[in-house]
Structure 1
Amino acid sequence: MPAFETNRWPGRQDLQPHQTTQIIIGDADGASADLVFESDRLFEAPNWSPDGTSLVVNSEGGLFVIDIASGAVTAIDTQGVDRVNNDHILSPDGQLVYFSANGHLYSVPIAGGDVTKISNDFPPELQYFYWLHGVSPDGRTLAYVATHAVGEDPNPRGRVRLATIPAAGGHDFYLTDNETGHFDGPEYSRDGEWIYYNSEEVAAVPGHAQLFRMRPDGSDHEQLTFDDRVNWFPHFDPSGAQVLYLSYEAGTQSHPADVELIIRMMAPDGSAVRDVVTLFGGQGSLNVNSWNPEGTRFAYAAYPIAGYGGGIDRWDR
């Protein structure tokens, strides 16, 4: 196995030498997979369009559409808003892309242009950042992760909370208000009755995130997974019958890139957990919902390194 640097930072700007991005579409039962796009550039976080024809991804600070049939890539014009990260989702009707960039939330038509800023401005010294993850089934509310500095603490993520904001703009509503603990990945259930998320709120050791759910008003927290692995980013299929998520090995902290991990499936109540895919990736692989309209397949990104593997060439079916 060749030497390479394990990228254990939460984010990154580029691939490592001899590494590629593979955008893969896999069956929900794990039976087969198709490589639909490959590049020596970093592409992340595929969203599947409601019409089933394309995937929205981010790369080098911008948004792009990949045509599934041809693999052709088209840039989405975001009118100069750059530094787009891997927190982007589509509106329920597929007409808008909601995205995070430069610490704020925006929307843009999937065809590009007419960018609208949604988030609020905070004092610069607070270093307040919005990290988008979910949209309510009626399209009216966005769920996000709020991070900001606390007091004289130089850590810009001194406090991490889950929050919502109207998709049309308005007041921020905080779902969690813990002084400590990490929360991430808020996504609405298909009926809008719950928000699913990952959290360290009951962790005995740092980094041991499990999956939870709560009501959209922040009440009735319920733990759903109880294993030794580190679980992140729950994503509902269109029917609401199954939830896809990332599962890291025990001892992992945060959601790093360039590690071997498992994509798992579970029922909404946390039962019937099963492995679907083992891959080399992590950050950027499944940050956002990537189910197809029928709920039979999902898209994800793997980041194999030449001579090591970790992408579709490792499938043994």
Structure 2
Amino acid sequence: MIRTLQSGQRCEVWIASVNGQAELLYSSDDVLFEAPNWTLDGSSLIFNGDGKLWRLDLNTGSLEPILLTGVPDLNNDHVLAPDGQGIFVSANDGHIYRALLAGGPATRITEDDGFFHFLHGVSPDGAQLAYVGIKAGDFTQPGRLMTIASDGGASASVDVGRFDVGSAHCDGPEFSPDGKWLYLNTESFTSRQGHAQLARIRVDGTGFERLLESESVDWFPHLSPDGRYASYIRFPGGTVGHPADLRVAVVLVSTEDWTTALHSWPLFGGQGTLNVNSWSPDSRRFAYVAYPLSDSTKD
């Protein structure tokens, strides 16, 4: 399903910096854009909207679609390849594809294995993808942490058994910059429905640990390229899943102390705001998306 803006709603792309400042970069009343990625050369943001990929040039402010063929409508789970030339995307048919940022044909990676596949991470060497598998696309079932070789095909083994992160739902698995850890959110630390907390596990399946204990519902941890900082999205306590159109906050922490927020940016958003890693290559800034409503709509 392609998300669209409500009447009186707009989409705002923001840039936050590690010193606490935030700047409005782009606004649209027409297309609901989601989940920015920052290109390796630092020149552009890549996001999805209206089922397609788009490129926003940070120097000129120009926006243009990236035309892909052989792939259904896209959702907001996409990550850039470490070579700076390619991108891995999740589509609404439940499969993961790879393509070039320049556009052109996309190649399907995942098999018809009975799961829907929601991509979130690529290893620093580009060899592995981390994703969440949902059995038969049944969203009443918990997501499972999985990895697969990025070249795909029947020969690419799917690895799920070694990642014991509990039986509850998990989401957002992303490799650390050094490739040693997978960072994620999981509901396995509590019996409260939907109470996602931030965690990590080593890529060999050991060392599963909670990063902080909070009363908020915390999703999508994203590490800066230098590993010093992390961003995540904070939902109100009691939230189930990561829905759209809530009062949430984007939070910045040091990876040496996840319990203390360095800065936070309250906004109206949720789904689409920070689903994928949006850090700049110099680790000084990251992008996020807000979806404010007009005053008349709020009333």
TM-score, length of structure 2 as denominator length: 0.92
Conservation of the 8 A alpha-carbon contact between 1:245 and 1:263: yes
Q: Cα offset for 1:159?
A: 3.9
Which SS does the other structure have where 1:130 is aligned? strand
Query: Aligned letter for 1:201?
Result: S
Change (3 A) 1:156 1:282: closer
1:1-80 equivalences under 5 Å are 13-80=3-70
Conservation of the 8 A alpha-carbon contact between 2:90 and 2:119: yes
Match of 2:171 among 159, 176, 184: 184
1:146-225 equivalences under 5 Å are 146-149=133-136, 155-169=138-152, 170-174=156-160, 175-176=162-163, 180-225=167-212
182-191 vs 156-165, which moves further: 156-165
Change (3 A) 1:157 1:97: farther
Change (3 A) 1:105 1:69: same
Which of the pair is proportionally richer in strand? 2
Q: Which residue of 1 aligns with 2:94?
A: 103
> In the aligned structure 2, how far is the partner of 1:32 from the partner of 1:78?
32
Conservation of the 8 A alpha-carbon contact between 2:55 and 2:63: yes
- Show CA shifts across 1:175-204 (max 9, x none): 546783110000111111110000000113
- Show CA shifts across 1:219-241 (max 9, x none): 22110110101100000111101
Conservation of the 8 A alpha-carbon contact between 1:286 and 1:301: yes
> In the aligned structure 2, how far is the partner of 1:33 from the partner of 1:309?
24
Query: Aligned letter for 2:223?
Result: F
Structure 2 unaligned segments of length 5 or more: list them.
Answer: none
Query: Aligned letter for 1:48?
Result: W
- Show CA shifts across 1:229-268 (max 9, x none): 1100000111101111001111111111111111112232
> In the aligned structure 2, how far is the partner of 1:178 from the partner of 1:24?
33
Q: Which residue of 2 aligns with 1:287?
A: 275
> In the aligned structure 2, how far is the partner of 1:108 from the partner of 1:176?
28
Q: Which residue of 2 aligns with 1:314?
A: none
Q: Cα offset for 1:115?
A: 1.2
Q: Cα offset for 1:35?
A: 2.3
Q: Which residue of 1 aligns with 2:232?
A: 245
Conservation of the 8 A alpha-carbon contact between 2:250 and 2:264: yes
> In the aligned structure 2, how far is the partner of 1:106 from the partner of 1:73?
23
Conservation of the 8 A alpha-carbon contact between 2:75 and 2:90: yes
Identity of aligned residues (%): 42
> In the aligned structure 2, how far is the partner of 1:272 from the partner of 1:281?
23
> In the aligned structure 2, how far is the partner of 1:38 from the partner of 1:50?
25
Give 4+ residue runs of structure 1 displaced > 6 Å after superposition: none
Count of aligned positions: 292
Which SS does the other structure have where 1:168 is aligned? coil
Conservation of the 8 A alpha-carbon contact between 2:164 and 2:205: no
- Show CA shifts across 1:109-153 (max 9, x none): 00001311111122xxx4x1000000111111110000014xxxx
300-309 vs 189-198, which moves further: 300-309
Conservation of the 8 A alpha-carbon contact between 1:281 and 1:302: yes
Conservation of the 8 A alpha-carbon contact between 1:29 and 1:276: no
> In the aligned structure 2, how far is the partner of 1:260 from the partner of 1:156?
23
- Show CA shifts across 1:20-65 (max 9, x none): 1111112122223232343421110010001111111101111111
TM-score, length of structure 1 as denominator length: 0.87
Query: Aligned letter for 1:68?
Result: L
> In the aligned structure 2, how far is the partner of 1:113 from the partner of 1:256?
32
Match of 2:217 among 219, 225, 230: 230
> In the aligned structure 1, how far is the partner of 2:269 from the partner of 2:157?
36
Change (3 A) 1:23 1:309: farther
Structure 1 unaligned segments of length 5 or more: list them.
Answer: 1-10, 311-317
Which SS does the other structure have where 1:273 is aligned? strand
Conservation of the 8 A alpha-carbon contact between 1:159 and 1:179: no
Conservation of the 8 A alpha-carbon contact between 2:221 and 2:230: yes
> In the aligned structure 1, how far is the partner of 2:42 from the partner of 2:142?
38
Which SS does the other structure have where 1:85 is aligned? strand
